[in-house]
Structure 1
Amino acid sequence: MERTNDSVLTEFVLVGLSAHPKLQTIFFVLILWMYLMILFGNGVLISVIIYDSRLHTPMYFFLCNLSFLDICYTSSSVPLALDNFLTVRKRVSFSGCMAQMFLSFATGVTECVLLGMMALDRYVAICYPLRYPVIMSKGAYVSMATVSWLTGLVDSIIQTSLALQLPFCANNVINHFVCEILAILKLACADISINVISMTGSNLVVLVIPLLVISISYMFIVATILKIPSTEGKRKAFSTCSAHLTVVIIFYGTTFFMYAKPKSKTSDGKDNQDIIDALISIFYGGMTPLLNPLIYSLRNKDVKAAVKYLLDRKKLFS
């Protein structure tokens, strides 16, 4: 462990799968492929939405934000994880670790809130279709997206600031692939009850409240859809929400598994559980951004038509 003369921690060591070199190679290839697909899929989706003026609507504005957010979220941690797979014990500076933790937490929180905002957009579109252009004006949906980003930024500043105040005086080995906040809190040699309380409050604000908003919105959406007389009308109405609902289930299901109950400092001897948690975090950190563009592309005729139109234009000018 590297320390300065005044016993201030200067670096962390990321263990990851160092005890399983064969698994490291497998996961390096798997995560690298996943990351490249995330960049490609979300990059194409953003390009299509920006390029096709027919997609310049509130729903696709939120989707563009979601895709950009997924790129930022994975880019804040996946490159460090890939580097970790190539080394036995990856060393990362204290400041670099905190910066990576800050970015990952900020983007994760922003996505939670943004999914709630997207549910409100779908609620207005289905329940108040005639008033939708007035209610979801440009000022309204831009403000909703801005609130999502600011919430993630402020919450991450609070959690990171509290973590920076903790003393790390005995152990700097993180049983994870990246600088994940719960793994770092376990290393503190002081009472972390304030951090646990703060994380619990954060979970209530950015996990529970958006999920309640989503649940209530879809209760009204389903009730409205059931009142539609024609089967075709019901199918079209539900198709505009099914992609978002699928993404919500995947994202919140895996996130709640990891963060719904903040863990306090634990004793040594639980390395296997830590590695299992780390692998799960790779799943929710990678699979959701990977599936988002696929789900929205396969279940959305407008996106498929825009992609086809873009490809045809490229063929025409090639």
Structure 2
Amino acid sequence: MNRFVRCLCRRDKRLPWFAILIALLAANGFAKQANAAPAPTSVATAADMLVQMDHISVQVLGRGSPVVLIPGLSSPRATWDGVVPELIKNHRVYLVQVNGFGGDDPRGNLQPGILDGVVADLHTLIESRKLGAVPVVGHSMGGLVTLMLARAHPEDVKKALIVDALPFIGTLFAPAATAESLKPQAEMMRAQMASLYGKPVPEQVGQMIARQNALKPASQEKVAGWSAKADMRVSGQAIYEDMTTDLRPELPKIAAPITVLVPWTEARGGEEKILGLYRAQYAGAPHATIRGVGDSGHFLMLDQPAAFERALMTFLN
């Protein structure tokens, strides 16, 4: 483990789980199996519609008012399996998966511009299907994409539920960081991860990453499995773009209401300290609400499924 990661781990009581994930992925080389099969969501049926686009694929389930769900870094659409059965009772659910994150064909994601490409595909989907302004839910990197969509296409986003994501993760690595100053570190991470494409997955590394991002053993097992299937070339470029994107100056221009769910534990610094960090980052958003979910890791939909489902349904209703 290099000095950069050791420093992060010493500071982890102040860091959200996803920041530690990024550092561990890059430093330890959590690689994928070269021929991993796609990981379809467990709630899918043969009758479900799958829309394939250049940067994303979208599974469409259920009937009713639309809602879009976007998973995070190296995560498949199965991230949302726990809430889909309830959602499809009254909603037309659009389950997004970034190409390459579920072991599928990366398509257009083997070149720069992944985040912008995902935003463009989402806008095309919403516009072509005449969905109007829809509620959008995004986890981690998917939360950043949700903010980007709300800024670039305000007519697409009725309201946003951001699950453990910040408009700029750079300050977690250095308080005075800028998108420009982080480029060398981001480039190093991208190169390290891309170079490990197709190599065997070190089991101990997968377990360590899972423990840093989820509290329950069952949650950790899922996180490790998802990460192992992700295309490291796509994950590396996505990390680079995430680290070098600072949306804080754009927050005042986002009119849609934003709800941010923040996982916390006493061991990581307690609710007030962790939520204070998020409040500071979202201070420029005119309609942002920060809410904590206790006793949870980064994948709070796995660690605290009942609390997450309640928060999601409250958000939608």
Higher helix content, 1 or 2:
1
Q: TM-score, normalised by structure 1?
A: 0.27
Higher strand content, 1 or 2:
2
Higher radius of gyration, 1 or 2: 1
